[in-house]
Amino acid sequence: MTGAQRPTLEAVARRAGVSRATVSRVVNGSTTVAEPIQEAVRQAVAELGYVPNLAARTLVTQRTDSIALVMPEEATRVFSDDQVFPGIIRGAAQELEAADKQLVLMLAGSPAGHERVARYTTGRHVDGVLFASLHGADPLPARLAALGIPVVCSGRPLDGAEVPYIDVDQVGGVTRAVRHLIDSGRRRIATIAGPQDMVAGIERLSGYRDTVAAAGLPEMVAVGDFTRESGAAAMRELLAAHPDLDAVFAASDLMAHAALRTLREAGRRVPEDVAVIGFDDIETAAYTDPPLTTVRQPIVELGRQGTRLLLRLAAGEDVEPALILPTELIIRDSA
């Protein structure tokens, strides 16, 4: 149970017959050390199994070589079978691995969790912070930025903070989806909107509104929160209020999936009676019945690019204030 005493720089130096400073140089890849000495040091390192103590290094360099990925969400929602958060995590993890940095994952659904994240990040225990999915007008990103801590948000901050952010082309994707419905002859197009305290929910709804309005069509809205349960409830609500609807755009695939089922239970055929389009293109979308037409967003890429942006910021580079990734309409059988 008790680990052997861990070798330090000092031990390696003695073994190699040089000074601590020289060992440090070799370990950190300085080129100003004579080759034979480098070799001797490397051998001593190998023999002793020396591994640098990160804490000590951090203390002097002021860098932690780790970045925080903050998900201000109930853990329950972060890991539903919505693929959004896992996708972002995956993209971030890949990019950080390439940069040899650690990913510290912080869930902050509760107020206490949020406070904990605030303490940790303002305490500079990480070199940068990537926020996924902000709710409402969270002041934390701006606060961190003001402290000089590199921050990138996923989605435009709702409080108008001047924090660099990354997002997908929400409005463009929604517009293409609704236009596809219109072009295929649908005239009574409803939407199941996402939560209106999140920028993704807001923008997808306004994209719908603008497009149906531009076509002179009526607007029919029910609001959900991206989950299946909320999608089913919203679909029932829409059917009750507008029994003659002939198409539905749902702001998430999960809600679209639930709508598919709810429509069938109500005796409507998809796509004959009602066309359905979702948003996300999660893996399940290809396996629904019928397979779901949807707006694909490059979610892993979002995590990757966001992380890359953050790393550049942390490296002291100037970065663009926003980076928007394209979306794409994937046409399957539901519309």
Residues forming the site for DNA (CB under 7 A): 6, 8-10, 17-22, 24-25, 27-28, 32-34, 37, 50-53, 56-57, 59-61
Distances (CA, A) of 181 to 127, 150, 168, 290: 46, 42, 21, 16
Shortest Å distance, C-beta 20 to DNA:
5
List the structure tokens of 123. Answer: 């305490």
Distances (CA, A) of 313 to 117, 134, 163, 307: 20, 20, 11, 10
* Least distance from DNA to the Cβ atom of residue 41, Å: 9
Closer Cβ to a copy of itself, 78 or 193, answer by number: 78
**Contact set with a copy of itself (CB under 8 A):** 1-4, 6, 49, 51-56, 58-59, 64, 66, 75-76, 78-81, 83, 85-87, 89-90, 93-94, 97, 100, 102-107, 113, 116, 119-120, 122-125, 147-149, 228, 257-258, 261, 282-284, 287, 289, 316
Considering CB distances under 5 to 8 angstroms, the limit depending on partner class, which of a copy of itself, DNA, none binds residue 269? none
The option from a copy of itself, DNA, none interacting with 272 (CB < 5 to 8 A, set by class) reads none
Give least dist CB 47 to DNA, A: 15
| Cα distances (Å, whole numbers) of residue 176 to 133, 181, 327 | 23, 9, 9
215 binds, among DNA, a copy of itself, none (CB under 5 to 8 A by kind): none
Report in angstroms the alpha-carbon separations of 266 from 53, 232, 233, 263: 63, 11, 13, 5
- Least CB distance from residue 134 to DNA, whole Å? 29
Nearer to DNA, 28 or 43 (CB): 28
DSSP-assigned beta bridge partners for residue 274 = none
DSSP β-ladder status, 189-193 and 220-223? parallel
Residue 107's binding partner, choosing from a copy of itself, DNA, none, with beta-carbon cut-off 5 to 8 A by kind? a copy of itself
How many CA atoms lie within 13 Å of 193's alpha carbon, on the beta-carbon side? Answer: 20
State which residue, 24 or 284, has the beta carbon closest to DNA: 24
* Least Å from the CB of residue 327 to a copy of itself: 19
* Residue 104 region by backbone torsions, left for phi larger than 0, else alpha for psi between -120 and 50, else beta: beta
